[in-house]
Structure 1
Amino acid sequence: LLLASVLLISASPALSTSPCHGGCAEVDSMTEAVAGQGFLLGCISCKKREEVPARTTVDWHFKPLQEDKFRHIFHYNHPTADILHEDFAERLRWQGTLNTDVQVGAVYIHNVTFNDSGTYRCTFHRTLFLPVADMWVVVEKEVELTVVSAANRELVSVVSEILMYVLIVVLQLWLIVVLVYCYRKIWDEHEAREEKKAQKAQEASVVF
């Protein structure tokens, strides 16, 4: 969720701001995908100085398990997004910044398969337009993706669910205790009233 929020903020030209304003944060990508579902490959490279104009292109390469070489699978040069490998044809969609000054280079994989397991490398080729001379910067990041048949539940989720059930049980027990206490209190008050009535009746019979 955090990554998705950052991507949504940073992907919009109108909302993209400098790191000091919290508009860009280099959050790591998730690394586990479920076969048959979609998966967001995250890759973020924030500029240190937002006021410096820049133009950036992004390339994605993929190295399957048991292989030594990377395959060039995707290239983004705003506004053009090109899928460059047949294994990913019709399955990749650009989910990054929608202008020339790219800081979020995420791509979305549709219909993930077990063959998609491996190492993904995203590369930012950034040209900074400085007053004196242009500067070229290259940033590389890698994501080790594992494809599983079913999502593994996170420990936090499991603990939260256990605590929820424990809380429900405790509340039910507390409610039972409260009901028993209230019932006994009402019953004691009823017994006290009946005892007073009996005493008054006895005193009245003695008088007469």
Structure 2
Amino acid sequence: MAVGLSHPVCVDVPSETDAVLGKPFKLTCIACMRREEVRAITRVDWFYTPKEDGTLIPIFQYMNGRPKEVEGPWLKRLMWSGSADLQDVSIRIRNVTYDDAGTYHCQLFRQFEFDYFTPSVTKTKVIELKVKAKASEDPTALYSEIMMYLLLVFLTFWLLVEMVYCYRKISKSDEQSQDPATNYLAIPSEHKDNQAAPVCE
């Protein structure tokens, strides 16, 4: 039986849009190739558009197999976060500031290498980024914490009930074990008193 090598599954997921001030943030850009066995030349251009302006500002580039930072305010603030097979062509902001809020464009160009022709495809993904002062509460984590406390209270109550039940059971067992001994000791004493009583004729 022949076993072939399996290729990693590519899932096109949207990027998160809420960044936290002072924290790193990944701008996710997934571009799945339908035929992984076909070689392709890939180029990725990242652009930023401020909220008050519609100008596309180049901020990062991937070309000829190498990531390349672009001169300007974004220099040394971005890093490549893509995969080796270039299905994932994401980048990461090292330290988010309020100025990072705005629109990001991930522009991908692929030129496929077939025997007789070289078709190409261009894709663009847009990410609207918002910057918050602190991370918002995760409702799932909050519900989990509440359930944990409720479970702890229930287990404490159950343990208390079990302790009271066991204490009463042990106390009742001790009383029952003491009664026969008391009766046993009391019978000879009563019998002795009866023997010592004078017989009336």
- Runs of 4+ in structure 1 off by over 3 angstroms are none
Q: CA deviation at 1:64?
A: 1.9
The equivalent residue for 1:190 is: 174
Amino acid of the residue matched to residue 31 of structure 1?
Answer: T
Q: Percent identity?
A: 36
TM-score by length of 1: 0.83
Question: 1:34·1:148 contact (CA, 8 Å) conserved in 2?
Answer: yes
The residue that corresponds to 1:11 in the other structure is none
Query: Residue 84 in 1 paired to residue 84 in 2?
Result: no
Among 61, 64, 70, the alignment partner of 2:47 is 61
| More helix as a share of residues | 1
Q: Which amino acid aligns with 2:174?
A: H
Measure, in 2, the Cα distance between the counterparts of 1:69 and 1:17: 43
Q: Which residue of 2 aligns with 1:160?
A: 144
Counterpart CA distance in 2 for 1:95 and 1:81 is 10
2:20 alignment counterpart: 34
Whole-Å separation in 1 of the counterparts to 2:173 and 2:64: 81
Partner of 2:130: 146
With over 3 angstroms needed to count, the CA separation of the structure-2 counterparts of 1:204 and 1:59, relative to structure 1, is farther
Aligned to 2:119: 135
Q: Structure 2: any 5+ residue segments left out of the alignment?
A: 193-201
**Deviations 1:127-184 (Å, cap 9, x if unpaired)?**
1112331110111112221111110021111111111111111111111111111111
Name the structure 1 match of 2:38: 52
- The unaligned stretches of length 5 or more in structure 1 are 1-15
Query: SS of the residue aligned with 1:88?
Result: coil
**TM-score (normalizing by structure 2):** 0.85
2:157 match: 173
Structure-1 residue corresponding to 2:195: none
